[in-house]
Amino acid sequence: MLKALRDREVGQEINASAVPEAELAEAEPFFDDGPDRELRDWVRHGLAALSLEQRTTVELAYCQGESCEEIARIMACPSGTVKARLVRAREKLKDVLPALAEAAVGTRGY
- List, for residues 75-87, the tens digit of each pLDDT value: 999 999 999 999 9
User: Kind and range of the H or E element at 9?
Assistant: none
- Check: pTM over 0.95? Answer yes or no: no
pLDDT reading at 98 higher than 90 = no
User: Can you give the pLDDT at residue 37?
Assistant: 78
Domains along the sequence of the chain with CATH: 2-10+36-108 (1.10.10.10)
pLDDT reading at 17 higher than 70 = no
* Alpha carbons 33 and 89: distance in angstroms, whole number: 25
User: Can you give the pLDDT at residue 110?
Assistant: 41
- How distant is the alpha carbon of residue 98 from its chain centre? 17
Half-sphere exposure of 78 (CA within 13 A, CB side): 3
Q: What is the DSSP letter of 2?
A: H
